[in-house]
Structure 1
């Protein structure tokens, strides 16, 4: 932005260099955004703000909120502007908080999601989604700037807002797979959100995540293959060391030496991935383990997959009795 100190002197307003420096630091910390109240606290008058706007050296984003440059607003500047516009106690939530935390995901919603105390009424603002929360201060990450709800709260709020159940699961599974949090921590945080929609479904998803499920395909295997057909319970995400490298087995039926690996990539055509999978399967075979590998086809043909797992388990000594999930199910 143009030199505020010189601009203020030109308009006949005396601003000390100390106040000017503090105001410049404040704007830099807030990605160029500031409020009218912040400007006035540093000796900047409405007359100065109006002059800067007319000179196209700043722009107003919301009522009482400005940025110290013109042109398109980066996401971080829009984020700060939204928080400042919503007033004290406001905090990032949902996908905006996840984006700020650096959680990887397909966060296509460019709107800024802001939570405010339940007693506060906020006028609608362009590009801002405002939600009201009781006891919001208890959900906010202490001493974080900009203010944001805790990571687990943001994940649960984001998952709860998804209409598609598979998308809800993906949000939570992905965060656990990225080692950003754990199912146990998410389950504990769920109790602090009694008004969150879909809590029963989220709790079930998190229960599966606590068992080691980390993707939609792994969830489908657990529900449609293993549980639906009465198979023994596998250990999931079993850590192993192969050739000095750490790998994780998707499903391991330990007493029988049977592994079930799930390929989440459609087609799984990438050469490096194929070679890595072959190497892992070969290493398991040399250690006496039998590996079965399934892709997304098991979602549509869970009974066929179950029949193969049953055959492998019986080959390795399982004497249990599977159950058919329907009259036409081939599992016996």
Structure 2
């Protein structure tokens, strides 16, 4: 939208004011406007005429109506001043990591010495050595993706949510467990460090989802089942497939399917094809969904029976006095 007295102004050093606003998703500061010769009188007239919106003290946008997410991000950054960086879920969303980002607030990181007034829908964290955790080239300033993952996961009390954040990013090949682990020393006050370290160790072992993580810890390890290989590559007549968990000496495969795995007929057909290919090679496939989270003992009973039928000489153990094994 054209704003009289604003669109005609030119910045002396950084190109046109129009280009600046475009690069900031329509947001700009009073200081940026005044550098271009735009007075408070012009800004006030634009707000009264509903050509501009004042979002935070000294921060405006050059259009009316609801603010897109990108514009909200820029408004928060400009309101918090130079050196402010995206962090947490906001940084992950900016990196393009797929996830259930229910927290629509803007998460920002500032130097430890900076004190800011509270702003609506903006969460600010302070860091003693903020430059050390920033991505070197991204603009606007953003913490490294591994740092954002650790901060986001550490903010959850629920272990399943912590695991989901870290494992989903690794499965999407946005980063690796090793790279995330390497960032832990840079966050000495991070909550739940030992839990996050265990989750990442399991991810290094091939675990790629919360459900796989739950199976490994609550079924396989808790009940003394043999150690399986994970993400096993196999070639079938239909092409290459990957099996979630395979007890290779015994020809037992365990597939772990979340809701997304049964969302459409193509997914179901792919699963059946994979299972049938295993069966024709003499292997048996057991398939579990989210029920194993609430009843891991039932899954352990079935897997142990299949393993023993296929020659496993061991015996499973009870995970607790209440275990039904």
The TM-score with structure 1 as length reference comes to 0.90
- 5+ residue gaps, structure 2: none
Whole-Å separation in 1 of the counterparts to 2:23 and 2:263: 46
Question: Does residue 299 of the first structure (1) align with residue 270 of the second (2)?
Answer: no
Question: Does residue 132 of the first structure (1) align with residue 126 of the second (2)?
Answer: yes
Match of 1:74 among 68, 76, 80: 68
Note the C-alpha offset of 1:87. 0.6
Whole-Å separation in 2 of the counterparts to 1:169 and 1:220: 9
Partner of 2:308: 314
Query: What CA deviation, in whole Å up to 9, does each residue of 1:19-71 have, x standing for no partner?
Result: 79521111100001111111122222223222322322212111111111122
Match of 1:272 among 266, 272, 276: 266
Question: Does residue 157 of the first structure (1) align with residue 119 of the second (2)?
Answer: no
Asked if the contact 2:84–2:110 (Cα under 8 Å) also holds between the matched residues in 1, the reply is yes
Partner of 1:11: none
* 3-state DSSP of counterpart to 1:324: coil
Asked if the contact 1:238–1:252 (Cα under 8 Å) also holds between the matched residues in 2, the reply is yes
Which shows bigger deviation, 88-97 or 209-218?
A: 209-218
Partner of 1:229: 223
In the TM superposition, 1:197-208 aligns within 5 A as 197-208=191-202
Partner of 1:196: 190
Match of 2:248 among 226, 251, 254: 254
Whole-Å separation in 1 of the counterparts to 2:318 and 2:5: 79
Whole-Å separation in 2 of the counterparts to 1:7 and 1:134: 40
CA gap of 1:19–1:321, structure 2 versus 1, over 3 A, is closer
In the TM superposition, 1:1-332 aligns within 5 A as 1-4=1-4, 15=9, 22-265=16-259, 268=262, 270-327=264-321, 329=323, 331=325
Whole-Å separation in 2 of the counterparts to 1:64 and 1:267: 48
Whole-Å separation in 1 of the counterparts to 2:63 and 2:186: 40
Note the C-alpha offset of 1:107. 1.0
Note the C-alpha offset of 1:186. 1.1
CA gap of 1:316–1:6, structure 2 versus 1, over 3 A, is closer
* 3-state DSSP of counterpart to 1:248: strand
Whole-Å separation in 1 of the counterparts to 2:6 and 2:263: 62
Note the C-alpha offset of 1:316. 2.6
Task: List 4+ stretches of structure 1 deviating above 6 A.
Answer: 17-20
Asked if the contact 1:97–1:154 (Cα under 8 Å) also holds between the matched residues in 2, the reply is yes
Asked if the contact 2:229–2:246 (Cα under 8 Å) also holds between the matched residues in 1, the reply is yes
* 3-state DSSP of counterpart to 2:246: strand
Asked if the contact 1:235–1:251 (Cα under 8 Å) also holds between the matched residues in 2, the reply is yes
Which shows bigger deviation, 262-271 or 225-234?
A: 262-271
| Count of aligned pairs | 325
CA gap of 1:326–1:46, structure 2 versus 1, over 3 A, is closer
Note the C-alpha offset of 1:266. 8.6
Note the C-alpha offset of 1:172. 1.2
Whole-Å separation in 1 of the counterparts to 2:324 and 2:155: 38
Alignment RMSD (CA, Å): 2.3
Asked if the contact 1:19–1:43 (Cα under 8 Å) also holds between the matched residues in 2, the reply is no
Asked if the contact 1:266–1:295 (Cα under 8 Å) also holds between the matched residues in 2, the reply is no
Note the C-alpha offset of 1:250. 0.7
CA gap of 1:52–1:274, structure 2 versus 1, over 3 A, is closer
Query: What CA deviation, in whole Å up to 9, does each residue of 1:66-87 have, x standing for no partner?
Result: 1111222111111001001101
Whole-Å separation in 1 of the counterparts to 2:6 and 2:178: 56
